[in-house]
Amino acid sequence: MLNQVRQLRLPPRTAVLHLLLCLVATASIMVGVTHSVVRELESRSDSTCHQLLFRSLTAAKIAYAR
């Protein structure tokens, strides 16, 4: 993403704002998708789905913490 912003040849302040906007948009999309998946899985009674989701979210948190 940083290389794409450099190719645009924007002023430094605009480039930083562009990067922040992209990061916020990406984070909000990820939160929205995760929320939708959690809501869908909560509506099901299959505990296997809950376990898989919990494991994947835990793995994502561990990977993010590193």
pLDDT at 5: 65
Q: Tell me how many degrees the CA angle 58-42-57 measures, rounded to the nearest 5.
A: 10
- Span 4-22, mean pLDDT? 80
Burial 30-40 (b: 16+ CB within 10 A, else e): eeeeeeeeeee
Q: Is the pLDDT of residue 4 over 80?
A: no
Q: Global pTM? A: 0.48
The tokens describing 57, both together, are 């979210």
* Cα–Cα distance for residue pair 50/54, rounded to 1 Å: 6
Average pLDDT of the chain? Answer: 77
Q: What is the pLDDT of residue 23?
A: 87
pLDDT of residue 18: 83
Angstrom distance (rounded) from CA 58 to CA 39: 17
